[in-house]
Amino acid sequence: MGAVCCYFQVHQPYRLRRFSVFDRAAHYFDDATNVDVLLRVAQKCYVPAGRTLLDMIRRTDGGFRCAFSLSGVVVEQMERYSPAALDVFRALVQSGSVELLAETYYHSLSFLYSREEWQEQVTAHRKLMQRVFGVTPTTFRNTELMYNNDVARAAREAGYRLVLAEGVDSILAGRNPLALFHPPGAAETGLLLRHRELSDDVAFRFSNRDWSEWPLTADRFAAKLRETVADGSVVNLFMDFETFGEHQWADTGILEFLAHLGPEALKVGLEFLTPAECRRSLDAHQAYDAPHMTSWADTERDLSAWLGNPMQANALHELYNIENAVKESADPSLLHDWRRLQTSDHYYYMSTKSFNDGQVHAYFNPYDSPYDAYINFMNVIDHLRARFGGPAPMAKPLR
């Protein structure tokens, strides 16, 4: 039987408040905006789309199955500001049809800069999942699906036998992404690769009226899935959960689409599997060799959304430069602030890539320009650094 594997990402950063070089108070985050955004997304997406899934699981007798990955920072925010949304996710996990994935607590780029910090965050996230949901994840996904052979190795060492990644054309080299893969020389680690076309049909093209397949209905999409996936293989639909009701608003019909997706797919003889179930039921025969970092972002599928210009590189460099000093300070609030600055969104806001044509990167982006994002971030780092007596970067001595 052909299988469908869905994974939905849930994440909201702690956005920074406007922090000027003249600001003195060690209060970096825009609480009001963060609460507003969380409540809005909870109301438009997390709660209604989550209930849609619960209902579908019930109607299909658990035939619909999927995975969620929730960043630690979004769980923290839901605990404080939207327990109702958190309850929906708890119910999903308790339904027995939903697998929770492992990731970095702070939705960070730490893998690129500090393996030690990365491990600490993966551990912190595991503990959070145990505390809040009572489960221990066994499948790992790195922030924004950033992946290379090294990520697989580190995940294996951290105890994970399955990793999710983007199915990048240049690495697939003509093969389709419908199998369970393994990293070169590591047959014991499974790899599931995102099917770009079919995932983006839903995540990006669903409401596009210029698209030849608009309007996309659940039965037509189920037929596409059926055509794509043969017996003994799996099509991986990975996307942001915010797709359902937030990126694509409810009036596009996205929630109805979601509600019918399960039944329609089951009707054409497909089955739903969680990532861990794929790992158990499929054999990994093919190696997927990713020496360089890939991701699921933009058209490049690389790191350029977060590391595409000198400002982004500098901001990340400066942040991880103070890792030891922050940790040696043994100041928990300093450490928490520093870690919340690692969230990938801060660097995404600094991207000049799409700024030229004024495109995407704008989703809940609190800044008018990437320059404003960088200036704000650097002011915060400067202030943070001063808290443990570190020197300001590249500045001449102050008066």
Partner 1 sequence: MLGWEFPPYISGGLGTACYGLTRGLDQLGVEVLFVLPKSVEASHTSHVRLISPAQLSVSAMRSVARRSHTLETFTQLLENVTFHQVDADLRPYDRPDATTEELVDVPGPDLTVSSEEVREKLKRVLTAFDVTGGTDYAGNLFAQVVRYADLAREIATEQDYDLIHAHDWMTYLAAINAAEVSGKPLVVHVHSTEFDRSGVHVDQRIYDIERAGMHRADRIVAVSYLTKSIVTKHYGIDARKVDVVYNAIDDNGPPKDAALSDIRRDEKIVLFLGRITMQKGPEFFLAAAKRVLEVMDNVRFIMAGSGDMIKQMIALATRMGIGDKVLFTGFLRGDDVKRVFRMADLYVMPSVSEPFGIAPLEALVNDVPVLISKQSGVAEVIRHALKVDFWDVDEMANKIVAVLRHPPLQATLRDHGSIEVRRLSWQDAAANCVEVYQRVLSG
Please list the active-site residues.
144
Q: What is the CA radius of gyration of the chain?
A: 21
> Could you say whether residue 328 binds partner 1 (CB under 8 A)?
no
311 vs 334 by CB, closer to partner 1: 311
Q: Is the peptide bond before 177 cis (omega within 30 degrees of 0)?
A: no
Tell me how many degrees the CA angle 223-225-229 measures, rounded to the nearest 5.
125
Applying the rule CB under 8 A, the residues between 356 and 395 that interact with partner 1 are 356, 358, 368-372, 374-375, 378-379, 392-395
User: What tokens appear for 37 in the block?
Assistant: 């955004």
138 vs 352 by CB, closer to partner 1: 352
> Site for partner 1 (CB under 8 A): which residue of 94, 310, 362, 363?
310
11 vs 353 by CB, closer to partner 1: 353
> Site for partner 1 (CB under 8 A): which residue of 314, 321, 329, 354?
314
> Could you say whether residue 255 binds partner 1 (CB under 8 A)?
no
> Could you say whether residue 303 binds partner 1 (CB under 8 A)?
no
Q: How far apart are CA 70 and CA 89, in angstroms?
A: 9
297 vs 375 by CB, closer to partner 1: 375
> Could you say whether residue 122 binds partner 1 (CB under 8 A)?
no
Least Å distance, CB 356 to partner 1, is 7
Is the CB of residue 53 less than 8 Å from the CB of residue 6?
no
Least Å distance, CB 398 to partner 1, is 6
Question: For 382-392, b where at least 16 C-beta lie within 10 A, e where not — what string?
Answer: bbbbebeebee
209 vs 396 by CB, closer to partner 1: 396
Of 57-65, 173-181, 307-315, 319-327, the window that binds partner 1 (rule: CB under 8 A) is: 307-315
Residue 171, class by beta-carbon neighbours within 10 Å (0-12 exposed, 13-18 middle, 19+ buried)?
buried
Least Å distance, CB 334 to partner 1, is 22
> Could you say whether residue 32 binds partner 1 (CB under 8 A)?
no
State how far the alpha carbon of 282 is from the alpha carbons of 182, 273, 275, 300, in Å: 12, 11, 10, 30
42 vs 381 by CB, closer to partner 1: 381
Least Å distance, CB 396 to partner 1, is 4
CB atoms within 10 A of CB 27: 12
Q: If DSSP codes are grouped into helix, strand and coil, which group holds residue 262? A: helix
Least Å distance, CB 382 to partner 1, is 8
Is the CB of residue 148 less than 8 Å from the CB of residue 290?
yes
State how far the alpha carbon of 394 is from the alpha carbons of 241, 315, 331, 398, in Å: 41, 13, 25, 11
Q: If DSSP codes are grouped into helix, strand and coil, which group holds residue 196? A: helix
Q: Which residues bind partner 1 (CB under 8 A)?
A: 20-22, 309-311, 313-314, 352, 355-356, 358, 368-372, 374-375, 378-379, 392-399
